[in-house]
């Protein structure tokens, strides 16, 4: 029931948000979703319903520390699925950042000996991570469309699906004021979050966006320190240091890809000597610098070709003008 209203808050809230923007004349016109994106859209909604259910089943069959540790597998699952299924290019630098992110997340969620125990509940949690991994990549495939429209579809349909399952499982509606509070939380924590996430995926890809998104638990700890007065243990600061290193690696991964190409151009000049036309073909070699934004592998290389100087002679009747080709 909680998941249902969080998702509905995201969808309904984004609808109101977009309506207000349109009234104020600040709405952005972006290409809407089409039938071509329908398979990814449907998969995104179904996976968003399945993943929380699997996670809840996992929580009911294992301890919270185990769930917290295993939940870090979502980053790895997203990256592997992006690489193997969706053929997204992932650089060695990004892979190293993903490894650091995973280590930092495990340290943050580790609660001492006995925190990790692989059992039936663990399988459900891993299943949830895999579902979210596929969902992240499906969302990536439609991220060039309107992010607000995607949030509305994801929120409303996933919310209704979760609500239907909640009623069938015998759950009852919470009190009215709690419903409104959950809807508001859903708009901020789900709606705006997913909106920014989709916008990031368009430029960064599924793997890198997922890696950046893993900073969220650290922000959670920071807010707990500021708002609740909690003080994290020493392992948090070690994990934070590793996370900073991984973030630096990820930002450095977006570099300019440069190519130095030397191109060969042939210029023919016609020179008139009476009725004799003397043609010189000059082959010139020069370089162009091509700069591409790329988040994978950067390299510079030069293509060289042998230059030459060719002469050809022909006799033809031409006008007294000087011809240039």
Rounded CA-CA distance 73/81 in Å is 12
255-273/302-303 β-pairing: parallel
**pLDDT higher than 70, residue 135:** yes
Highest mean pLDDT among 26-30, 50-54, 226-230: 50-54
- For 248, the domain range is 2-253
Report pLDDT for 271. Answer: 55
Tens digits of residue pLDDT in 53-75: 899 888 888 887 788 778 888 98
Residues of the chain above pLDDT 90, percent: 38
**pLDDT higher than 80, residue 160:** yes
Last residue of a domain, one of 253, 278, 297: 253
Q: Are residues 78 and 130 in the same domain?
A: yes
CB-neighbour burial class of residue 138 (10 A; exposed 0-12, middle 13-18, buried 19+): buried
User: The tokens 């995926």 sit on which residue?
Assistant: 201
Please tell me whether the overall predicted TM-score, pTM, comes out greater than 0.85 for this model: no
SS3 annotation, 231-291: CCCHHHHHHHHHHHHHHHHHHHCCEEEEEEEEEEEEEEEEEEECCEEEEEEEEEEEEEEEE
Residue 103 token pair: 């280590």
How big is the chain by its Cα radius of gyration, in Å? 29
Residue 87: CB atoms within 10 Å: 7
Q: Are residues 220 and 125 in the same domain?
A: yes
Q: Are residues 160 and 230 in the same domain?
A: yes
276-294/309-315 β-pairing: antiparallel
- Taking the CA atoms of residue 292, residue 293, residue 294 and residue 300 in that order, the dihedral angle to the nearest 10 degrees is 40
Report pLDDT for 220. Answer: 83
Q: Is residue 44 part of a domain?
A: yes
Question: How many domains does one find in the chain?
Answer: 2
Q: Are residues 228 and 265 in the same domain?
A: no
CB-neighbour burial class of residue 94 (10 A; exposed 0-12, middle 13-18, buried 19+): buried
Q: Are residues 74 and 45 in the same domain?
A: yes
Average per-residue pLDDT in the chain? 80
């Amino acid at each position: 029931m909680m998941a249902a209203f969080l998702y509905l808050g995201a969808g309904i809230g984004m609808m109101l948000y977009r309506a207000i923007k349109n009234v104020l004349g600040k709405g952005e016109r972006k290409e809407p979703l089409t039938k071509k994106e329908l398979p990814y859209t449907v998969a995104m909604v179904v996976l968003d319903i399945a993943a929380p259910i699997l996670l809840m089943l996992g929580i009911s069959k294992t301890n919270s520390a185990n769930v917290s540790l295993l939940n870090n597998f979502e980053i790895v699952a997203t990256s592997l699925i992006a690489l193997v299924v969706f053929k997204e290019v992932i650089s060695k630098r990004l892979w190293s950042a993903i490894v650091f992110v995973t280590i930092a997340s495990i340290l943050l969620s580790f609660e001492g000996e006995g925190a990790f125990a692989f059992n039936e509940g663990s399988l459900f949690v891993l299943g949830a991570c895999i579902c979210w991994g596929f969902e992240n990549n499906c969302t990536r495939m439609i991220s060039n469309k309107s992010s607000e429209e995607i949030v509305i579809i994801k929120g409303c349909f996933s919310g209704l699906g979760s609500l239907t399952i909640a009623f069938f499982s015998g759950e009852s509606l919470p009190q009215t004021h709690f419903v409104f509070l959950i809807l508001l939380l859903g708009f901020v924590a789900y709606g705006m979050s997913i909106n920014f996430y989709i916008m990031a995926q368009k430029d960064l890809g599924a793997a890198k966006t997922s890696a950046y998104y893993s900073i969220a638990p650290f922000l959670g700890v920071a807010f707990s320190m500021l708002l609740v007065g909690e003080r994290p243990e020493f392992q948090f600061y070690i994990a934070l240091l590793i996370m900073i290193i991984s973030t630096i690696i990820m930002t450095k991964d977006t570099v300019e890809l440069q190519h130095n190409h030397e191109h060969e151009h042939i210029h023919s000049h016609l020179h008139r000597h009476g009725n004799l036309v003397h043609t010189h073909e000059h082959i010139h070699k020069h370089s162009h610098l091509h700069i591409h934004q790329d988040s994978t592998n950067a390299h510079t290389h030069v293509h060289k070709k042998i230059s030459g100087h060719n002469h050809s002679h022909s006799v033809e009747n031409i006008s007294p003008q000087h011809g240039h080709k």
